[in-house]
Amino acid sequence: MIRVDAVPIEPADWESSVPERARRKGWKYGHLTIRRAEGGKRLLEALLLNLDNGSAEIASTPIIDGGSKFSSVTSAIPAAHWAEQAVGDLWGLHASGHPRWKSLILHEAWPPDKFPFAVSADGPPSPRESKFLTVGGQGVHEIPVGPIHAGIIEPGHFRFSCIGEIVANLDIRLGYVHRGVEARLAAVPLRHARHVAESASSDSAVANALAHAQALEDLWGLEGPKRAAAVRTVALEIERVANHFGDLGALASDIGFALGAATFGRLRGAALGFGQTLSGTRFQRGFVCPGGLAWEVGDAQLRLLTQSLSELKPAAADACEILFENPGVQERLEGVGILKPSLADEFGMVGPTARASGSPYDARCHFAHALFPGLAVDVATETAGDAFARAEVRRKEVFSSLRLIEEVLAALPQGGSLVKTPETLPPSKTAIGIVEAWRGELIHWITTDEQGKISRYAIRDPSFQNWTGVAIAVRGNLVMDFPLINKSFNLSYSGSDL
């Protein structure tokens, strides 16, 4: 259960008060967005997280009727800069004082008067501005890349400003896979919502299903069975292991180290096989649901899982030796794409990206989800902030996750895995689900209206924070190292675009 306190703030104080609250010791910024309150009024809300006691607070202030602006906090909390731009695109509001105002998610392909969350009673929207940051000076040239990429990855546009072969600036334009996930989540019948939640970023199906389930369970004030919490932990860690293997293999492939790519490719296959054994499918779709698990896990499956785990561990150790002890690999990854700890912190990086730049933050140590924070996690950190450090954090996390899975499976509680959940939600309440997904802190933030309908469903994917890290890390590097740097972050486009 994550306690959420409401903190109303006067519009005039917003700009000073929110940064002050976010900077208190033990607190961090979570997300910022708008919701519609009683009578159609718009409320600007900032979610702040207390790491000391695993609780949260929501600072809120009204947008004046007919208004088309709010005060930006980005200068004081740079981590909020994309969230404020997203508000611009979706609600037609302008963040006054935002240092780099432009559209983020909706651009030329969208009619200029389309603001998905705005209604005519809100008054005239503030127009969108689609543009790229241009870099002036002698010899500066631009390289546009995308939205379709050369490899088998999601679409997005990268605009490089280069001096010779050195990147001076990278402007990232996403939004190409905006599907309207948040609006859909508030519109579908509650029993179908979990499938939409999983599709927010379908390579993180367990994490999204879990954040969704935790938030709903908090709204109802109910707790799922112990066994479900334990199996959810195993499911989440399997997802982490499979994807970290995939990332390490992709890094090997990007530097032309075919043996590493092949070895990690098959390990990823083995880890997906665990997911299949546990839940029935490789990506564990439809398995974690509000109230527990959609179906039971039998003893035979658990035995098979424990046995395959013991076979995987030595294979994983071998694979890591092949990759990390290879001088060629070290040479290619070290010193490339450095993200300094101070910048990682200011821009609110999360997950392995943050931990490779010295941050000790891992949501599993602070916020209630599955068996966490009761189950102790070895937090993997590095300080170099380069591609090698990001790989190293993943390596450490693979082994700590495998240990966690073994530990949980060895002491799996007996009993059922599902409690019955009510068909409706309590009125006028807010709850958040926070999960340490394999890419980092994932937030699902749900508010209900007076009728108990979901009035706002906001998702803050870890990638939404971390894309800025890619733009920072690539500066001063060779253009041709960009694919490698990008791969060392491996962020989600669909999770960001929603």
Partner 1 sequence: MLTALLHAARQKHATDAVDFPDLPEGVGGLPRLTTEPCLGEACGRCVNVCPTGAIQLSGDPENPDVSLDRGLCVTCGACIAGCPTQTIVADPSTKSAVIHREELVLYSKPTETKPIAALDGVKALGPFRRSVDVRVVSTGCNATDLEVAATANAIFDCSRFGIHFVASPRFADVLLVTGPVGRAMQKPLVSCFEAMADPRVVIAVGTCAISGGVHRGGYADANGVMPHLEVHAFVPGCPPHPWSIVHGILIATRSKATNANHSPQHGRG
Distance of alpha carbon 378 from alpha carbon 372, whole angstroms:
12
Selected binder of partner 1 within 45, 84, 122, 154 (CB under 8 A): 154
Cβ distance to partner 1 smaller for residue 24 or 266: 266
Does 276 help bind partner 1 (rule: CB under 8 A)? yes
CA dihedral (26, 374, 396, 206) in degrees, to 10, reads -100
Does 53 help bind partner 1 (rule: CB under 8 A)? no
Cβ distance to partner 1 smaller for residue 127 or 151: 151
Does 131 help bind partner 1 (rule: CB under 8 A)? no
Cβ distance to partner 1 smaller for residue 28 or 227: 227
Does 24 help bind partner 1 (rule: CB under 8 A)? no
Whether the CB-CB separation of 22 and 31 falls below 8 Å is answered with no
Does 294 help bind partner 1 (rule: CB under 8 A)? yes
Selected binder of partner 1 within 36, 107, 240, 394 (CB under 8 A): 107
Distance of alpha carbon 278 from alpha carbon 303, whole angstroms:
10
Q: Which residues does 303 contact at the CB level (< 8 Å), separation at least 6? A: none
How many chain residues interact with partner 1 (CB under 8 A)? 62
| Sole window of 107-115, 426-434, 443-451, 478-486 interacting with partner 1 (rule: CB under 8 A) | 107-115
| Sole window of 67-75, 137-145, 260-268, 334-342 interacting with partner 1 (rule: CB under 8 A) | 260-268
Does 180 help bind partner 1 (rule: CB under 8 A)? yes
Cβ distance to partner 1 smaller for residue 327 or 374: 327
Does 325 help bind partner 1 (rule: CB under 8 A)? yes
Does 175 help bind partner 1 (rule: CB under 8 A)? yes
Cβ distance to partner 1 smaller for residue 81 or 285: 285
Burial 238-272 (b: 16+ CB within 10 A, else e): bbbbbbbbbbbbbbbbbbebeebbebbbebbebbb
Q: Cα dihedral sign for 24, 27, 29, 34? A: negative
Selected binder of partner 1 within 1, 64, 109, 119 (CB under 8 A): 109
Does 422 help bind partner 1 (rule: CB under 8 A)? no
- φ/ψ region of 333 (left if φ > 0, alpha if ψ in -120 to 50, else beta) reads alpha
Q: What minimum distance in Å lies between the beta carbon of 276 and partner 1?
A: 6
Sheet (strand 454-460) strand order: 430-437, 440-448, 454-460
- Considering only residues 185-244, where is the footprint of partner 1 by CB under 8 A? 188, 191-192, 195-196, 199, 201-203, 205
Whether the CB-CB separation of 170 and 158 falls below 8 Å is answered with yes
Paired with 28 in beta bridges are 49
Distance of alpha carbon 71 from alpha carbon 12, whole angstroms:
9
Whether the CB-CB separation of 81 and 27 falls below 8 Å is answered with no
Whether the CB-CB separation of 231 and 302 falls below 8 Å is answered with no
Distance of alpha carbon 116 from the chain centroid: 22
Cβ distance to partner 1 smaller for residue 190 or 375: 190
**CA dist 69 to 74, 96, 105, Å?**
14, 6, 18
Cβ distance to partner 1 smaller for residue 30 or 292: 292
Binding site for partner 1 (CB under 8 A): 106-107, 109-110, 114, 116, 147-148, 150-155, 175-181, 183-184, 188, 191-192, 195-196, 199, 201-203, 205, 246, 259, 262-263, 265-266, 268-269, 276, 280-283, 285-287, 294-295, 301, 318-319, 321-322, 325-326, 492-494, 497
